[in-house]
Amino acid sequence: MSERVYLGIDLGAESGRVMAGRFDGTRLQLDELHRFANGPTNIAGTLRWNLVGLWKEILIGLTKAAERYGDSIVSVGVDTWGVDYVLLSKTNEVLGVPYNYRDPRTEGMMNAAFSRVPKAEIFAQSGLQFMEINSLYQLLAMQKEQPDVLALADKFLMIPDYFHWLLCGSRVVEFTNATTSQCFHPTENNWAYDMLNKFELPTEIFPEVVTPGTQLGTLRDCIMKETGLGKIPIVTPPTHDTAAAVAAVPTEHTGNANWAYISSGTWSLIGVEVQDAILTDAALKMNVTNEGGVDGTYRLLKNVMGLWLVQGCKRAYEKQGRVYDYTELTMLAEEAEPFRSLVDPNDHPFLHPNDMTIALQEWCKDHSQPVPETPGQLVRCALESLALKYRNVLEGIQELTGETVEVIHIVGGGSNSDLLNQFTANACGVPVITGPVEATVMGNLLIQARTAGEVESLSEIRKIVRQSTESRRFEPQNSSDWQTAYERFCQLLK
Catalytic residues: 241
Phi and psi (nearest 5°) for 245? Answer: -65, -40
Burial 465-482 (b: 16+ CB within 10 A, else e): beebbeeeebebeeeeeb
Tell me the three state secondary structure of residue 217.
strand
CB 452 within 8 A of CB 74: yes
CB 455 within 8 A of CB 444: no
CA distance 252 to 271: 17
Phi and psi (nearest 5°) for 237? Answer: -80, -170
CB 454 within 8 A of CB 25: yes
CB 179 within 8 A of CB 291: yes
Q: Would you tell me how many other CB atoms lie within 10 Å of the CB of residue 220?
A: 16
CB 181 within 8 A of CB 122: no
CA distance 165 to 399: 41
Closest residue by Cα to residue 285 from 129, 403, 392: 129
Q: Is 320 exposed, middle or buried (0-12, 13-18, 19+ CB in 10 A)?
A: exposed
Closest residue by Cα to residue 34 from 15, 12, 53: 15
- Measured in residues, the chain has a length of 494
- Taking CA atoms, 390 is separated from 264, 291, 423, 426, 434, in Å, by 11, 18, 10, 11, 15
Q: Is 120 exposed, middle or buried (0-12, 13-18, 19+ CB in 10 A)?
A: exposed
CA distance 168 to 234: 7
